[in-house]
Amino acid sequence: MNLPPLIQAFVLHFGEMGSRWGINRTVGQVYAVIFLANRPVCADDLVDAVGVARSNVAMALKELQSWELIRLKHVPGERRDYYGTLDDIWAIVRKLVEQRKRREIDPTLTVLRELLMQSPASEEERFAQERMQEMHGVIELVTGWYDDIERLETERLVQLLSLGSKIVKALDWKDKLFVAKGGGKPKGPERP
Amino acid sequence: MNLPPLIQAFVLHFGEMGSRWGINRTVGQVYAVIFLANRPVCADDLVDAVGVARSNVAMALKELQSWELIRLKHVPGERRDYYGTLDDIWAIVRKLVEQRKRREIDPTLTVLRELLMQSPASEEERFAQERMQEMHGVIELVTGWYDDIERLETERLVQLLSLGSKIVKALDWKDKLFVAKGGGKPKGPERP
DNA sequence: CTGAATTTTCAGGATTTTCTGAAGTAACGG
DNA sequence: CCGTTACTTCAGAAAATCCTGAAAATTCAG
């Protein structure tokens, strides 16, 4: 491993965290190197930087491409494949959430839907299904919220996140105004 | 493994997903059984339900307790330890997010802060630090937002999630009204 | 075509993680 | 105390995952 100290420290950390994040050490380290580089990176660079076998680097690159977290970037006059991360940090975050949802949540949602179709054959199963229903409801709510939010342009998204829970007060106030002005139902906004 | 079919299907699924979620098969299955049970569950029940060695069940229970996802529930007149999940599904979700943040994000935040204190020794390091700064900013923003949101009572939280991105329109509208009424700055709510 | 450069695949060895059974410890009733 | 029940610990077996080097496949210039 052959990197400036500051970069090496970050790369080693990403390697260690890899297992917690559901990727392996090499994949973590390879991604870290690409993320921190100020230019596209090729397999040889990575062998050099991370210090593992070339075939291992190839596997890591394949894995990262399957996550759509890195992209092939052709360098003019170069035959080798060069890779870079997505353009901006928010694109990376969105992709990460999308992929983890796809891998960690969607399969469960599918199973839940299947099992909720069946009729319980005992009180035990009836109760279990009730719990599954609760879980299904929460997942639908949270992922539905994200699907919606995720479409916002980044600037809006950042605004929203910066507000935090202050947004609730803002909404209260809006509701009050709305009611005061003599509008319809007191709860929930409706389309005009 | 000895469970009603509906429950067994769910338990097996949780076992399979375990590795993606950063827990092992047994831990996943044990949690699933406890989650679906309509009464507290003891180690023997779990050995019976999941079909693994008792020591393995003990390990799984220890792991789940370290996540604070299950709680000891004493059953009157019983010597054995019985376990149950947190009371309601939202408490479970909150705990899950809290723990995953603690395990998967906080360590990285610490490392980032350390590395951002150092002065770069080259252009390469300077650029890398810029990227780390971006990552740090995003993590702070998102986790800060969650820390804030997480304090809301569940009813409020559900309201907020149900709104999705409609909230942005609501805010726009509020801003417009606010400005129309001749109030202060056009952006961002301030305390009255 | 041919051959060099590069990437991909994969069998098997190395490492890590998970699981088991046996032994050990603790708590309790009588 | 003693024996029973229940829980925990832990060494090593079993399984899963990761990594390597060699070989195969692909790409491209000449």
Tens of pLDDT, residue by residue over B76-123, are: 989 999 999 998 999 999 999 999 999 999 999 999 999 999 999 999
Residues A88-99: pLDDT tens digits?
Answer: 999 999 999 999
Residue B50 is predicted with a pLDDT of 97
Give the confidence band of B186 by pLDDT, cuts at 50, 70, 90. Answer: very low
- Would you call A120 helix, strand, or coil by DSSP? coil
Cβ within 8 Å, pair A164-B148: yes
Higher pLDDT, A81 or B191: A81
Give the confidence band of A191 by pLDDT, cuts at 50, 70, 90. Answer: very low
- Would you call B90 helix, strand, or coil by DSSP? helix
Average pLDDT over residues A107-118: 98
* Residue type at A50 in one-letter notation: V
Distance from CA of A186 to the nearest CA of B (A): 14
Cβ within 8 Å, pair A131-B162: no
**Within this chain, do residues B108 and B62 fall inside the same structural domain, yes or no?**
no
Separation of alpha carbons B128 and A32, rounded Å: 10
**Within this chain, do residues A81 and A9 fall inside the same structural domain, yes or no?**
yes
Residue that has been written with the tokens 């596997």 in this structure: A59
Predicted confidence (pLDDT) at residue A117 exceeds the cutoff of 60: yes
Give percent above pLDDT 90 in chain A: 81
Separation of alpha carbons A179 and A181, rounded Å: 5
* Domain termination residue (choose one: B53, B85, B117): B85
Residue B168 is predicted with a pLDDT of 80
**Within this chain, do residues A110 and A170 fall inside the same structural domain, yes or no?**
no
- Would you call A157 helix, strand, or coil by DSSP? helix
Separation of alpha carbons A45 and A144, rounded Å: 41
Please state the domain count of chain A.
Answer: 3
Residues B25-62: pLDDT tens digits?
Answer: 999 999 999 999 999 999 999 999 999 999 999 999 99
Higher pLDDT, B73 or A169: B73
Distance from CA of B54 to the nearest CA of A (A): 24
**Which residues in A lie closer than 8 A to residue B36 (C-beta atoms)?**
127-128, 131-132
**Within this chain, do residues A32 and A70 fall inside the same structural domain, yes or no?**
yes
**Which residues in B lie closer than 8 A to residue A127 (C-beta atoms)?**
36-38
Predicted confidence (pLDDT) at residue B75 exceeds the cutoff of 60: yes
Nucleotide closest to A57 measured between CA and C1' = D19
Give the confidence band of B165 by pLDDT, cuts at 50, 70, 90. Answer: confident
**Within this chain, do residues B13 and B79 fall inside the same structural domain, yes or no?**
yes
Residue B170 is predicted with a pLDDT of 72
**Within this chain, do residues A16 and A37 fall inside the same structural domain, yes or no?**
yes
**Within this chain, do residues B79 and B93 fall inside the same structural domain, yes or no?**
no
Nearest to B125 among A6, A103, A147 (CB): A6
Higher pLDDT, B123 or B181: B123
Q: Which are the contacts of A81, defined by CB distance < 8 A and separation ≥ 6?
A: A42, A43, A72, A74
Position B159 in a domain: no
Average pLDDT over residues A154-171: 87
Residues A24-52: pLDDT tens digits?
Answer: 999 999 999 999 999 999 999 999 999 99
**Within this chain, do residues B121 and B171 fall inside the same structural domain, yes or no?**
no
CB neighbourhood size of A23 (10 A): 21
Nearest to B7 among A125, A162, A169 (CB): A125
B24 C-beta less than 7 Å away from strand C: yes
A20 C-beta less than 7 Å away from strand C: no
Position B158 in a domain: no
Position B117 in a domain: yes
**Within this chain, do residues B102 and B140 fall inside the same structural domain, yes or no?**
yes
Cβ within 8 Å, pair A135-B89: yes
Q: How many Å from the CA of A9 to C1' of D27?
A: 36
Give the confidence band of A69 by pLDDT, cuts at 50, 70, 90. Answer: very high
**Within this chain, do residues B96 and B68 fall inside the same structural domain, yes or no?**
no
Question: Residue A189's domain spans which residues?
Answer: 154-192
Give the confidence band of A173 by pLDDT, cuts at 50, 70, 90. Answer: confident
Cα-based distances in Å from B32 to B9, B48, B159: 10, 14, 28
Among the residue ranges A24-33, A69-78, B160-169, the one predicted with the least confidence is: B160-169
- Mutating which of A63, A161, A166, A187 best tests the B interface, going by the most B Cβ atoms within 10 A? A161
* Domain termination residue (choose one: A69, A85, A101): A85
- Would you call B141 helix, strand, or coil by DSSP? helix
**Which residues in B lie closer than 8 A to residue A20 (C-beta atoms)?**
22, 103-104
Among the residue ranges A27-31, A49-53, A181-185, B141-145, the one predicted with the least confidence is: A181-185
Give the confidence band of B189 by pLDDT, cuts at 50, 70, 90. Answer: very low
Q: Does the CA dihedral B145-B146-B151-B154 come out positive or negative?
A: positive
